[in-house]
Structure 1
Amino acid sequence: MGSIAQFLGRAVDLHRQAASLLLDAEASVAGLEDDQFAGAAADGELRRLVAQLQAVAQAGLPGWLGMPLDGRIVSRQLGQDARSGGPLFLRVGDAEPIRNSVFWAAAPFVGAGHLAIDTDARDRSVAAWLRGVLVRTIAALPEGSVRVLPVDGAMLGAVFTAFRPLIDAEAWAAPATTLAGLRTALDEAERQITAAQAGDLQALPVLLIAVAALPSGHGRAEWARLAAIAHAGPAARVHLLLAGWPPTLMHGDGPPRLDHTTMISSGVDGWWRMSETPGPYRLSADGSGLAAPIRLDPGASEDVAAEFSRRMAATAAVARRTDFASLMPDRIWQESSATGLRATVGRDGRIPYELVLDDATPHMLLAGRSGAGKTNLLLILLYALASRYSPDELGLYLLDFKEGVSFVEFTPTLKDPSWIPHARTVGIESDREYGLAVLQALTREMNRRAAALKAAGVTKLADLRASTDVALPRLVVVIDEFQVLFGANDTLARDAVAALEDLARKGRSYGIHLILASQTLAGIEALYTKKDSIFGQFPLRIALPGGSGILESGNTAADGLPVGSAVVNNAGGVEQANRTVRFPEADPASLAAQRHILWQSRSPVNEPPAVFAGYAEHHIDDDPLYRALTPQVRRRQALVGRAIDVGLPTVGFAMDAVPGRHLAVLGTSTIGADVLHAATASLASQHEPGTARFVVASFAAVADQVVDDLVAALTAAGHDCTEADGGTVRAILAELATAVPGRPTYLVAFAADVIVPLLGERGPERRTGLDDLRIVLRQGPGHGVHVLSWWRVARRFSDAIGGSAGREDVACLVALNVPGSELSSLLGDHTLSWQPRSNRALLLDRHDQRQRLIVPFVRPGRHDEINEPG
């Protein structure tokens, strides 16, 4: 057989011959009623032509396209009867130009135009015919290539009951029964037409709007939209199957003509007439249609349609399921991010769905109730991006503010040393301070890129990348449970809001994309006045079950979603832009397999990400800066912990000749002893053995073990180390207050608050030990003398140094579990904001006005004791 076009041409010729012979026969019979031979000859010729037409029709409409839809055809193979490269013709009725002489009447449909019948599906024969057209179309085309939007405004969806298995399998949409439902179907058709005009037609499904009866309330607005879809739809794979068109009007002009549409009109005695509107495939030269009356194709009974639907649904369920591995590209790192980022995250029906981060949709909001799959979808998106783009094309900044392990996948662990080479920094159970530090680091990077663009004389990142060899990857910043960062209406929250707004407004120009995830946007005080200015920069919205709050008011499409699906909206949440996407489970085995592929492909320059685990201890012995310390340093430092900042830099205090360079650790927590231990050990590493003197004293039993360990370590390292008690410490203070030592000296006092009463007693020279302490604090640094102390009672520390008069004499402070109000009063700084918390300390250096939240160094095994109540 030739092509469909050849078949159509032959069929049209035969139709014309049949019509001409029929007219000739009628004229002959009228003029020669007595000439029986002439009438018999004309009748015979016409019957021969009808037989030829039937032979052509049977050859051109094989299988599902033309055979009777009864039990014999249900088991026939699916998706094999449509010919490639041409329109789909299917049987719509039986033409009978002469009694008892019939051929199948065919009409062009998918790939060519639309079908309409003037009686709605309340007529049982029309309902069966409608079911038949749907069965023939779906069965003939490749499986999964058709998406049906059923509309039944008269019988509440009853016409489509037989197709319920396909609806349950989500291969079809649920029947629309109201005017709003019809409008939603028209919205989707219009979106596909727009997408086809802008992009790849081959990626789009055949979209079929099947109307059993128009819903009440429809009018000229809906007619105009249908007419526009009829005109533009065939080129975008959008087709109409309308029962009850044109609508019956009580008054006024009728609805507009539908282009590219084969019309079937009811006649008398069960006969129908098939006519057409202009299009590339014509039933007749003059547009009048088929020159013969037809009877509607019997269509499909409800039983046949139901059996067909069950069969299709079984394969649809399998086709609809996808897995994590199927979303990953066959070859990693093949794409450029110069103009944007794309990632396949799931399927819209059976079509792969890509999320896009570019200049048009630079930032994304993601929301859903607990258990809706937020972490799962984030993992799919990030792995898909990291698999498509190399580390030179993409960098990841990941923050998680909840008590979870969303992003542990991206970091090396003791169990698995691999990591995702794109990850720059990963925060797990992040502090708000760490979140602000990341935003500020990104702001600095954005400003650096802005300067580079200006220097190069270009305005787009793609142009800058083309003019330089320096890698300028796009940066994706994910903040899970981001509302925690802005939850308090304090200075930190205000600073974070300012940084976020700056990045949201300008980031798109410099390749920085934000993804904010949460269960809700409600109750974020710090963002109350900034919601529009910030969230207005986030056109891409993904609403998981229960996440409709990020969509426009009234758009509740996500409320009834099943887990494993999401409403994706790239227009700021307006209902017309909703798309429902299903995504798979990112199971641990698949994640691990893909992570190892990426890790093993990394460049030698790819370092592991800077990991901030909010719950993790930090030990001085594991610190890289401590391990690198040598006596060949310009300025010695007492290391006390790691800063809550990108990269967790090691922090401490310089112990040089500047007045006030002494360290006081404040708080009842026994972690104070560990901090003092770390500070002393780090100073010892910066002296050659025997060149410095260490005097170590413990005034409370809780510190004895720490002191014993410290003295043993100092002695083993060859340092001059002596232990002292209350009496000897007083004598040492008197000595240091009156004589210049010949070498650097460190007085290390644990639980120093205990000895304050003893130091307050006057000696023979009418001076107290506190007088000597204050002289040492004031003059000691100039002579190489430094006091390192832990005070469990902050008020005694203040009394010991002379109150406000002695504040400048101890410039280096580490506050543990000291209440914020008490610390503010002690320092005379009522702007100080400090809330004690587990595994955290506040570093204050009054010389450089430095305040930093730190993770204090502790000795191994002390996690359960960190900042215990005093």
Structure 2
Amino acid sequence: MGSIAQFLGRAAYLHRQAASLLLDAQATVQGLETDQFAGAAADHELRQLTARLRHLARTGLEGWRGQPLDGSIVDRPVGHDVVPDGPLFVKVGEAQPIADRTFWVAAPFVGAGHLAIDTDARDRRVAAWFRGILLRTFAALPEGVVRVLPVDGAMLGATFAAFRPLVDAEVWAPAATNLSGWRATLEEAEQQITAVQSGDLTEPPVLVLAVAALPTGHSREDWARLAAIAHAGPSARVHLLLAGWPPSLLHGDGPPRLDYTTFLSSAGDGWWRMSEPPGPYRLSPDNTGLPALMRLDAGASEDVVAAVCRRAATTAAASRRTDFGSLMPEQIWQESSATGLRAVVGRGGRIPYEIVLDDATPHMLLAGRSGAGKTNLLLVLLYALASRYSPDELGLYLLDFKEGVSFVEFTPTGNDPSWVPHARTVGIESDCEYGLAVLRALTREMNRRAGALKAAGVTKLAALRAGNPDAAMPRLVVVIDEFQVQFAGNDSLARDAVAALEELARKGRSYGIHLILASQTIAGIDALYAKKDSIFGQFPLRIALPGGSGILDAGNTAADGLPVGSAIVNTAGGVAEANRVVRFPEADAASLTTHRHTLWRARSPLNEPPAVFAGYAEYQIGDDPLYQALTPQVRRRQALVGRAVDVGLPTVGFALDAVPGRHLAVLGTSTVGADVLHAAAASLARQHEPGTVRFVIAGFAAVADEVVDDLVAVLTGAGHDCAEVDAAGLRASLAELAAVPQPTYLVTFAADVVVPLLNERGPDRRTGLDDLRTVLRQGPGYGVHLLSWWRGARRFSDAIGGSAGREDVACLVALNVPGSELASLLGDHTLTWQMRPNRALLLDRHDQRQRLVVPFVRPGRHDEINEPA
């Protein structure tokens, strides 16, 4: 018989022939009413032809395309009809050329054009017919091929109520019932057509725009858009099913005639006439319609539709489930990031959905309530990007401000030495200071790139890469999870962070830097209030997980009722018309581990692990690379005290040279002060040959006894001259060093205890404090330095001479000292410092340096960090 298209073409030819014969027969019968023989002959010929057409139509419209949609078909498999290549014909009604003979009337739909009927679905016959056409189309084609965009502007979606299981399973979109929803469906249809025409979408779904009734307020502009879709749609698999078209008008020109559309118009008393524009499926010689009137197909009851849809939804839900691995490319690192980044992260219905970061959608906002799957989605997105692009094409900067382990996946750990090679910096439970340091590092990188682009005479990264494909300039993706923590409050730290963020948001797209800000909410961020529009206006890409509607436009609450595992993806800054529902897979631990190992094994030998900052981590000086590399052959000796809260966690300390005031004071009641002093003294010891310097150790608090014993053991073990003294011995050492200075480190634990004794006058009327102040002023020039831990800032200030002695101890490490007390001590009331566990503020008053540090502690001290002595 050949293909179904050839068969149905033949059927259409016979149909036309029958119609012509019918007209001739009717004329003959009218002229020969008294000729019983002639009337009988014509009737016999029509009966034969009708029988042939009836047989051909029933044979060509098997299964869902033509069989009655009653209870007998409910159990018929969905998506398993044999549908040959070519257009899909569906039964639209039955013609009755003579009194007791009928045949099925078929019209081309999917793959050929569109269907329109001039009465909307408020007419029950039309509603049943309309449901029937949708059910026939959906059920005849393979599962997952058809996506329906329902519109019901007259009955609030009631026409589609029976299809609700498919909406819940996200096979169909929810029914649009107002003007904005109607226009959103037009836009989605236009987007698919545009994507197919541009080559961005090579395997589009069958998209059916099903309008049961036009919404109130539709305009001529909407008609023009519909006409354009009718013309361009079939080649992009976009098809229209319209009830109530053309709309009735009281005055003015009517709407445009739609190309490639089969029209059904009411002829009264339940009869309908069918006509089509010029094309390969004309069914009447004069192109005005079917000469034989027809009755609409009976369609399907709501019960039948609901029963079929429930079964189809169950099957669709099972087949739509996707796993993490299926979204990853078969071969890693095959793409160039020159023009942007793309990653398949889930499915919109049955179609893979890509998130794009480029000049048009440079930055992304992500929001959702707790447990909505924010971390899961970030992992899917980042692994998808890292699989498509090599480390030469993509770099990752990851910051997490919450108490979690979202980004540990990207770093080497004690249990697994692998890491994701694209990760440059990873912050876990980050401090705001660390976040600001990362933003500033990115700003410096952006400025470096700006210089390179300027030198090349271009303004965008894509242009630079086009002229120099081998340029080492990967795109950078910066993810800040719970970003509101970075910008909380209205202090100088928050304001500096906002300034850096704004600059990156405005300029980053040109230099290949893309920001992803994730949070449960963006409300109540004081520092961003005045900059909200200027910053968030640069984030057209919005992903709202369940409960995350706050990042969408006011009134766009589409994310409020979403199930976990799905999200509203919006590429137009949150306007409701651009909403798209996308489902994401679960990034399970086993899949992540397997994929991370694949990426890690493919890395270059030069690919180093990321710089990792874990807010909860402690650091011991014995593990510090800089400490381990120290030797006596140094130009300027340093007392190491901790790791800076900065990119790369550099080791920090104070240079102790001959400049007056180069002494170290650790302030605060925390017993970590003893550990910091221990680290400073131990690091200095590695920078002296034994016998070239003396260490005098004095401890005045029981909590420091163990630290003192350990330090004495370290120093004597290294061969240094080390003496442990009591209060009297300390006073004697001060008097000696004030009179005859020689290279010495005075290391004093809990120095505040001995201040009353030092304040007593001796026979020469001098006090120990006098000698202390002499040593502070003159000692560095002779190699004498005081390393001390003070549990009270006021007593320390009094001991060194109050404000007059501020410059005599230039190197300070503040532990659990209140900010107001520290500001008063320094005479700097602009200082912002909030004491917190496992943190210290390093201050060097000579070079105006302030740095947040993680102080060195001895092993096993976590329970005591920043606890009072």
TM-score by length of 1: 0.95
Structure 1 residue 36: Cα displacement: 4.2
Residues 456-504 of structure 1: CA deviation (Å, up to 9, x unaligned): 3333323433526452111100111111111121111111111111111
* Secondary structure at 2:259 match in 1: coil
Summarize the Cα distance change of 1:189–1:277 in structure 2 as closer, same or farther, 3 Å threshold.
same
Q: Following superposition of structure 1 onto structure 2, how do residues 6-405 of structure 1 map, counting pairs within 5 Å? A: 6-33=6-33, 35-81=35-81, 83=83, 85-179=85-179, 181-215=181-215, 222-250=222-250, 253-279=253-279, 281-405=281-405
CA contact (8 A) 1:15 1:290 kept: no
Structure 1 residue 153: Cα displacement: 4.5
**Where does structure 1 lack aligned partners over 5 or more consecutive residues?**
none
Distance across 2 between alignment mates of 1:286 and 1:315: 46
Summarize the Cα distance change of 1:367–1:75 in structure 2 as closer, same or farther, 3 Å threshold.
same
Distance across 2 between alignment mates of 1:279 and 1:673: 91
Equivalent AA in structure 1 for residue 847 of structure 2: D
| Residue aligning to 1:837 | 836
Equivalent AA in structure 1 for residue 599 of structure 2: L
Distance across 1 between alignment mates of 2:440 and 2:153: 56
Distance across 2 between alignment mates of 1:662 and 1:706: 20
Summarize the Cα distance change of 1:96–1:725 in structure 2 as closer, same or farther, 3 Å threshold.
same
Equivalent AA in structure 2 for residue 582 of structure 1: R
Structure 1 residue 377: Cα displacement: 1.2
Summarize the Cα distance change of 1:464–1:134 in structure 2 as closer, same or farther, 3 Å threshold.
same
Distance across 1 between alignment mates of 2:829 and 2:356: 48
| Residue aligning to 2:818 | 819
| Identity fraction in percent | 80
CA contact (8 A) 1:668 1:817 kept: yes
Structure 1 residue 573: Cα displacement: 1.2
Distance across 1 between alignment mates of 2:459 and 2:182: 45
Residues 381-432 of structure 1: CA deviation (Å, up to 9, x unaligned): 1111111111111111111112222211111222322221111111111111
Equivalent AA in structure 2 for residue 760 of structure 1: N
Structure 1 residue 295: Cα displacement: 2.5
CA contact (8 A) 2:230 2:259 kept: yes
* Secondary structure at 1:267 match in 2: strand
* Secondary structure at 1:86 match in 2: coil
Structure 1 residue 683: Cα displacement: 0.7
Structure 1 residue 739: Cα displacement: 1.8
Larger mean CA deviation between 385-394 and 40-49 belongs to 40-49
| Residue aligning to 1:857 | 856
Equivalent AA in structure 2 for residue 346 of structure 1: G
Summarize the Cα distance change of 1:176–1:443 in structure 2 as closer, same or farther, 3 Å threshold.
closer
CA contact (8 A) 1:21 1:42 kept: no
Distance across 2 between alignment mates of 1:713 and 1:5: 92
Structure 1 residue 588: Cα displacement: 1.9
Structure 1 residue 762: Cα displacement: 2.2
* Secondary structure at 1:778 match in 2: helix
CA contact (8 A) 2:29 2:42 kept: no
**Where does structure 2 lack aligned partners over 5 or more consecutive residues?**
none
| Residue aligning to 2:750 | 751
Structure 1 residue 681: Cα displacement: 0.5
| Residue aligning to 2:774 | 775
Summarize the Cα distance change of 1:869–1:12 in structure 2 as closer, same or farther, 3 Å threshold.
same
| Residue aligning to 2:484 | 483
Larger mean CA deviation between 453-462 and 829-838 belongs to 453-462
Distance across 2 between alignment mates of 1:181 and 1:469: 46
1:731 and 2:732 are equivalent in the alignment: yes
Summarize the Cα distance change of 1:570–1:178 in structure 2 as closer, same or farther, 3 Å threshold.
closer
| Residue aligning to 1:714 | 715
Equivalent AA in structure 2 for residue 716 of structure 1: G
Q: Following superposition of structure 1 onto structure 2, how do residues 266-665 of structure 1 map, counting pairs within 5 Å? A: 266-279=266-279, 281-465=281-465, 466-467=467-468, 469-665=470-666
CA contact (8 A) 1:82 1:88 kept: no
| Residue aligning to 1:765 | 764
Structure 1 residue 327: Cα displacement: 1.7
Q: CA RMSD in A?
A: 2.3
TM-score by length of 2: 0.95
CA contact (8 A) 2:665 2:789 kept: yes
Distance across 2 between alignment mates of 1:672 and 1:567: 51
Distance across 2 between alignment mates of 1:848 and 1:281: 87
Larger mean CA deviation between 840-849 and 10-19 belongs to 10-19
Distance across 1 between alignment mates of 2:764 and 2:237: 103
Distance across 2 between alignment mates of 1:346 and 1:512: 24
CA contact (8 A) 1:694 1:720 kept: yes
Aligned residues: 868
Summarize the Cα distance change of 1:393–1:297 in structure 2 as closer, same or farther, 3 Å threshold.
same
Structure 1 residue 220: Cα displacement: 5.1
Structure 1 residue 8: Cα displacement: 4.2
CA contact (8 A) 1:419 1:595 kept: yes
Equivalent AA in structure 2 for residue 478 of structure 1: V
* Secondary structure at 2:442 match in 1: helix
| Residue aligning to 1:705 | 706
Summarize the Cα distance change of 1:86–1:864 in structure 2 as closer, same or farther, 3 Å threshold.
same
Equivalent AA in structure 1 for residue 386 of structure 2: A
CA contact (8 A) 1:15 1:291 kept: no
Equivalent AA in structure 2 for residue 90 of structure 1: V
Distance across 2 between alignment mates of 1:708 and 1:312: 76
* Secondary structure at 1:397 match in 2: strand
Larger mean CA deviation between 823-832 and 277-286 belongs to 277-286
Residues 478-535 of structure 1: CA deviation (Å, up to 9, x unaligned): 1111111111211111111111111111111111000111122222121121112111
Residues 363-388 of structure 1: CA deviation (Å, up to 9, x unaligned): 11111222222111111111111111
Residues 625-679 of structure 1: CA deviation (Å, up to 9, x unaligned): 1111122222211100000100100000112222221111111111111000000
Residues 767-819 of structure 1: CA deviation (Å, up to 9, x unaligned): 22222222222222121111111111222222222222222222111111122
CA contact (8 A) 2:814 2:841 kept: yes
Summarize the Cα distance change of 1:268–1:366 in structure 2 as closer, same or farther, 3 Å threshold.
closer
Summarize the Cα distance change of 1:809–1:122 in structure 2 as closer, same or farther, 3 Å threshold.
closer
CA contact (8 A) 2:418 2:597 kept: yes
CA contact (8 A) 2:5 2:85 kept: no
